[in-house]
Structure 1
């Protein structure tokens, strides 16, 4: 009788796709810089990272790109020009320049303190490390729960000091392949709405969050609400316009000026 091949964990499949997509953009950025960069891998996705680096093989010579593998042996397939080293513990890792670290579980605060350091953390839902990461200097962060059909969940947290890089990450987050059974959930959504992975996602949770922000803070421009969307929800800044347009149409929000398309300077208030 043929041995059954275990089905891949869908949470890991999404995590891998998100990492690979963002790592591709990150590598292109660091190879345009004289400082280069360091990738730190604490899980089992080193082979996937090596495949991404391999796509830049013709550009690695003359640039500093290093992969640090924590508690793992280096897999085969490292492209020429990629420096690879292994360490037993995260505490041994010191990175002075740009860094992207793929982490799981505990991590030392000293690792993320540094110019151009970024983190993709896989952890259990309900453990929100964003404030700790922001205290360490990574002020732009997003947390998203990956929820399977059986209700099991895994959380991903991405943190950076650069809002442009957070924008890039979110673009890749919503562009991943639609793996069967996995949907996103914003851990700050009180109703815990599950949202299909899509380039045009359901915006009701965002609409609720924006209305709550208006109720707390009073009037805001569209630009300010887009910034809130980027920093405080799982959605992209541009998604705010669709959610706000629906809120205006439903009479939940008033606007000034009253007519025309919503522009960055349009002022919105909760309808009374």
Structure 2
């Protein structure tokens, strides 16, 4: 494996990468919908958002897509066809259609509930680790020196959550950041990878089987999506290793696990 290169701000690099990747997927979907969408930037990533929107410049004229910047000036490079405005308080915004909001910093938490309220409203929070409401998909970003920040994503759309999880594991694996699931009692640090370490997920799935009894793989994939930092497809690998280790039994002894396969504890 190549040697990791330390960056001046490891957290910002990963936060920006996750945000840009998800915003790209979100924008593509917004431009396929007649409702369009509004992106609200309450941190320091407005210039990055403009670069994302610039990739769709040939489609902006025929769709409603708006960037709202909270508390700072509009950066250079606004692509033609994109509506841009500056506002003081995100809670006072009047918007229609889907909304994606990025909140940053320790003062973000009181804004989460009002910005997540409404159909199609999603929130991505980047903030210092510490006391915070237990909500959404939460991931701790742990730097090489142990400094930790928190990434939280809230959505009512499970397909969007799955997309976010896919982008989460696709960011730069050499950024010097590892992930930790706040719900993992053992607090294991996991390297960023398209094929991540699955031990924390394996333990979580075995614990879920202990609480609720026999489940289908599909049910455990949904649990993985909603209750862990992992992707639904990761559940198959974690369950396969648990079956091999004798921690989990399956109804059909041979063949690959499928969504209909029922598994349980011995």
- Shorter-normalised TM-score: what interval? over 0.9
The structure 1 segments of at least 4 consecutive aligned residues displaced by more than 3 Å after TM superposition are 126-131
Find the counterpart in structure 2 of residue 66 from structure 1: 66
> Per-residue displacement from partner, 1:76-130 (whole Å, max 9, x unpaired)?
1111111110011222223221011011223053322111111111123244435
Aligned residue for 2:179, secondary structure, equals strand
Contact 2:202 2:238 in 1 (8 A): yes
Q: TM-score, length-normalised on structure 1?
A: 0.91
Task: Report 1:73-222 matches (<5 A).
Answer: 73-104=73-104, 105-106=108-109, 107=111, 109-131=113-135, 141-222=136-217
The Cα of 1:229 is off from its aligned counterpart by: 0.3
Aligned residue for 2:169, secondary structure, equals helix
Aligned equivalents of 1:263 and 1:64: distance in 2? 41
Find the counterpart in structure 1 of residue 17 from structure 2: 17
Contact 2:14 2:175 in 1 (8 A): no
Find the counterpart in structure 2 of residue 50 from structure 1: 50
Aligned equivalents of 1:181 and 1:193: distance in 2? 16
| Matching of residue 265 in structure 1 with residue 231 in structure 2 | no
Contact 1:95 1:111 in 2 (8 A): no
Find the counterpart in structure 2 of residue 37 from structure 1: 37
> Per-residue displacement from partner, 1:31-58 (whole Å, max 9, x unpaired)?
0111110000000000000000000001
The Cα of 1:142 is off from its aligned counterpart by: 1.1
Aligned residue for 2:23, secondary structure, equals helix
Aligned residue for 1:58, secondary structure, equals coil
Q: TM-score, length-normalised on structure 2?
A: 0.93
Aligned residue for 2:21, secondary structure, equals helix
Q: RMSD over aligned Cα, in angstroms?
A: 1.2
The Cα of 1:172 is off from its aligned counterpart by: 0.5
Contact 1:39 1:67 in 2 (8 A): yes
Aligned equivalents of 1:8 and 1:40: distance in 2? 27
